[in-house]
């Protein structure tokens, strides 16, 4: 068995599971390190290899530079043939490009709409292609990766409308797509996780409830990091026992003290606590579908993701929270390098299969 395969087995088998107040929390330890309060060795190697970029952070923001810096050259981990199709979903606001990943099947199978991350202003279908292909294989589902419009050229709610329009199109064309109309899920990472759960909130508003499952990978759910009755961001909530300065820098990398994301995405037109912007502020989440929330231990967004999991569980939504120890934000992009990225696709697939078997 290869070292990578051993790490994968460890991630499957050495989980710490806690069930409290109807919320199942699964802690996945670093597969090849015993100590806690530290980075995964692969994350440490990646960060220290690029240490020069952390020495003197450039406080000026260049949109194109920021966009170009996103993503990671990940690898295809599939072992079967996954067919890729390039589609355009018709929309009154301009057709929406989509990549469709289809495993071999003859019977109708579930569908998953996937929304990439990138702070609402960046990210590409290219970065998430290999994760989406792997998800299609592991879940035995058709995965549609949506190239929604980005801010600041297209501020809120343009991108969200594209995502919801894509869902409606899949639902309407389920027979032609050979997918099961009652087994359509949404998933996304970071900003994409926000868009996925916002689509579920839009479904709830319309009284539809046609989305069967949501999988949110380190989602943005409180765009302004605004305190609530159940959430207050604090650095001391993170267990840091080693490499203190490095880990603090990693955690704080996504802090947005100047509200840059808000300015790019909302442009002063919408309050940051609008529930379709910050789903943690939704008054009622009881109609949302069964939910998986995945977090990284050393991610600024971890605490809001945990608060959202608690909110959903309190409202009676079947919710599973998974935390990968030692990981930082955007680890899913590093498929083929980080076994946790591979395992993340497994747990998303498992969650869908448990609902649809």
* 138: in domain: yes
Q: Count of alpha carbons within 13 Å of 97, Cβ hemisphere only?
A: 8
The pLDDT score that the predictor gives to residue 54 is 45
Domain count, the chain: 1
pLDDT band for position 58 (cuts 50, 70, 90): low
The pLDDT score that the predictor gives to residue 52 is 47
Which letter, b or e, does each residue of 182-213 get, where b requires 16 or more Cβ atoms within 10 Å of its Cβ? ebbbbbbbbbbbbbbbbbbbbbbeeeeeebbb
* 112: in domain: yes
Output the CA torsion sign for 215, 148, 108, 140.
negative
- Give the DSSP letter of residue 254: T
The pLDDT score that the predictor gives to residue 262 is 86
* 25: in domain: yes
* 96: in domain: yes
* 64: in domain: no
Strand partners, 214: 186, 291
Catalytic residue among 52, 53, 145, 190: 190
Annotated catalytic residue 225:
no
Rounded mean pLDDT of 202-214? 96
- Give the DSSP letter of residue 228: B
185-194, 208-217, 254-263, 343-352: the lowest-pLDDT one = 254-263
pLDDT band for position 1 (cuts 50, 70, 90): confident
Q: Do residues 334 and 36 make contact, with C-beta atoms less than 8 angstroms apart?
A: no
Q: Whose CA is closest to 111, among 89, 137, 136, 77? A: 136
* 111: in domain: yes
d(CA 106, CA 145): 21
| Cα 173 from chain centre | 25
Model-level pTM? 0.97
Residues 6+ apart with CB under 8 A from 58: none
The pLDDT score that the predictor gives to residue 270 is 96
Q: Across the chain, what does the average pLDDT equal?
A: 95
d(CA 287, CA 293): 17
Q: C-alpha dihedral over 82, 26, 20, 306, to 10 degrees?
A: -80
Q: Which residue carries 């996945």 as its tokens? A: 28
* 62: in domain: no
pLDDT band for position 39 (cuts 50, 70, 90): very high
The pLDDT score that the predictor gives to residue 53 is 45
CATH of the domain at 330: 3.40.50.1820
Q: Which residue carries 């995964």 as its tokens? A: 40
The 10s digit of each residue's pLDDT in 284-306 is: 999 999 999 999 999 999 999 99
For residue 188, what are the domain limits?
3-54+69-356
Q: Do residues 251 and 300 make contact, with C-beta atoms less than 8 angstroms apart?
A: yes
* 61: in domain: no
pLDDT band for position 59 (cuts 50, 70, 90): low
């Amino acid at each position: 068995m290869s070292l990578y395969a051993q790490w994968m087995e460890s991630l499957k088998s050495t989980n710490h599971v806690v069930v409290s107040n109807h919320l199942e929390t699964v802690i996945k330890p670093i597969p090849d390190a015993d100590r806690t309060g530290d980075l995964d060795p692969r994350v440490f190697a990646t960060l220290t290899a690029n240490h020069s970029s952390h020495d003197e952070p450039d406080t000026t923001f260049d949109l194109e530079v920021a966009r170009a810096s996103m993503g990671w050259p990940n690898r295809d981990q599939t072992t079967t043939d996954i067919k890729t199709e390039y589609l355009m979903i018709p929309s009154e606001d301009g057709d929406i490009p989509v990549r469709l990943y289809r495993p071999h099947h003859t019977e109708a199978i579930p569908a998953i709409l996937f929304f990439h991350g990138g702070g609402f202003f960046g990210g590409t279908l290219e970065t998430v292609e290999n994760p989406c292909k792997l998800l299609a294989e592991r879940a035995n589902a058709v995965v549609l990766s949506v190239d929604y419009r980005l801010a600041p050229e297209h501020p809120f709610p343009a991108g969200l409308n594209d995502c919801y329009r894509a869902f409606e199109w899949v639902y309407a064309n389920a027979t032609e797509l050979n997918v099961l109309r009652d087994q359509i899920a949404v998933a996304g990472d970071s900003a994409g996780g926000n868009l996925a759960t916002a689509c579920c909130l839009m479904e709830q508003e319309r009284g539809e409830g046609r989305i069967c499952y949501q999988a949110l990978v380190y989602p943005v759910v409180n765009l302004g990091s605004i305190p609530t009755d159940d959430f207050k961001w604090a650095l001391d909530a993170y267990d840091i026992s080693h490499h203190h300065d490095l880990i603090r820098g990693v955690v704080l990398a996504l802090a947005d003290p100047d509200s840059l994301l808000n300015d790019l995405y909302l442009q002063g037109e919408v309050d940051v606590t609008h529930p379709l912007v910050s789903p943690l502020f939704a008054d009622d989440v009881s109609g949302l579908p069964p939910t998986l929330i995945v977090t990284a231990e050393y991610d600024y967004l971890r605490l809001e993701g945990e608060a959202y999991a608690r909110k959903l569980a309190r409202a009676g939504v079947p919710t599973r929270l998974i935390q990968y120890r030692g990981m930082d934000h955007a680890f899913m992009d590093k498929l083929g390098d980080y076994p946790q990225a591979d395992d993340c696709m497994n747990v998303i697939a498992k969650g869908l299969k448990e609902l649809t078997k």
